[in-house]
Amino acid sequence: MDDDRHHLVRPGGALPAALRRARRVGPRGRRGPPAPDGPCGGLSHGGGGRDHPVAHARCPGRGPVVAHVGGRGLRGRRPALHRAPLGPAPHADGGEPRHVGGAGTGAHQLAAHGGVDGARNRLRRDRVADDVSNIVSDILDTTVVGGFSRIGYEWRSRSRGFEPPEALDLRGRRIVVTGPTSGLGLATVRMLAPTGADLVLVGRDAARTTAAAVEIAGSATGRVDTVTADMSDLNAVASACAGMGPVDVIVHNAGALLDSRQLSRQGIEMTVAAHVVGPHLMTRLLLPTLARSGGRVVTVASGGMYAADLPRVAGDRTLEMNEVHWNGTRQYAIAKRAQVTLNEMWAAGEPAVHFAAMHPGWADTPGVKSSLPLFRVVTRPILRTARQGADTIAWLAGVEGIPAPSGSFWCDRETRPIHKSPSTRASDTPDRRDGLWQWVQSVTDPFVN
């Protein structure tokens, strides 16, 4: 890339033998054929390969966001309970069936170990096991502590037989990850590095972003590029996107919980700018290339959004708390609520791209240490590791055929409701959604048209 904000870090050696073995698919461990392109096939952007040309053309923006994205991915012990065709996303708070991320053993394979009756018995036992696992998972989530802590992750990962994201085969895909220098972002790129994907690390600090790229270069089997851009600065976001080139996946991870009210270069409250407006602009600008590849957008939200109503955004009222009432934790929760709402709205309007939001539970990250020191002291024995928190991020970025509609909200590879209280549910009205969409569109319009 010829823009001085874009840098390439050469990948290291071959994939470790253990991960090569984990990728094997099919009888006797033979690798299966590449998945075809299309609604149930692989991600592609036309040219393929790992050396993508740099496109400096400005990407035109479009309106609101869904697609069935496939490709080679994880395979585990049991099939997902439901693989509904993707389409306009239902309200995630409704009575939808639970979707779980795992992998599959076909009935024909089971039949080989006991005939049709044996296959039926095995499938019946698997369904019972899934039902039990769902019940326990729901109980853990209801207690919050059980669901959000490492207890919930360890139960779900063991009962579902999670395979490591490093076992994904993502060769030929290009994944943009914002906020990759620490915490969940760094854990995400560490997991994606051995998959063969080409990674683009977008960070506001050039030195720290380069350091993260150098760290993962030893395990990377695809290209590693770095881009310097502050996601709260809309000019920087637009400039970065202009030189981004083909993209298959965006992971919106950048952000922070602040202890004082600050404004972005465009005069927007910093939390809202970095978590909501900047990512929205990046999605708009990269939407054409994402649509061509049948791509994905993964948004890293927070369980803290469960405590926040969807604000009324109209006239002078925005997502931003004023100086008198500003509270960092509250503003963060409002921004995360907006992220999850916009995820559903994008999904309802853009059928060529799959949108997913997730929350990582309670993970022990540098951000938690600096922003919530007392919380960390009290909960440290049960906090998740950054890797456990980021597992679903990496999985959503690459798993074959995400087993739920576009616009879904995830935790630990399971879809979760977006509301837990009558108050937040009552606040989530069509008028408020429309107001949020119109506001974020109007703020980003000058950088798109």
Q: Which amino acid is at 278?
A: G
Q: Write the CA distances from 76 to 129, 220, 396, integer angstroms.
A: 15, 23, 15
What does the buried/exposed string (b/e) look like for 271-287 if buried means 16 or more CB atoms within 10 Å of the residue's CB? bbbbbbbbbbbbbbbbb
According to DSSP, the residues that pair with 198 across neighbouring strands are 174
377: buried, middle or exposed (CB in 10 Å: 19+, 13-18, 0-12)?
A: exposed
106: buried, middle or exposed (CB in 10 Å: 19+, 13-18, 0-12)?
A: exposed
14: buried, middle or exposed (CB in 10 Å: 19+, 13-18, 0-12)?
A: exposed
Q: Helix, strand or coil for residue 79? A: coil
For residue 90 the two structure tokens come to 């239902």
Q: For Cα atoms 184, 96, 342, give the angle at the middle one, nearest 5 degrees.
A: 50
93: buried, middle or exposed (CB in 10 Å: 19+, 13-18, 0-12)?
A: middle
Q: Does the annotation mark 332 as catalytic? A: yes
Which residue out of 332, 355, 362, 447 is catalytically annotated?
A: 332
Q: For Cα atoms 126, 76, 95, give the angle at the middle one, nearest 5 degrees.
A: 60
Largest CA distance in the chain: 70
Active-site residue set: 332
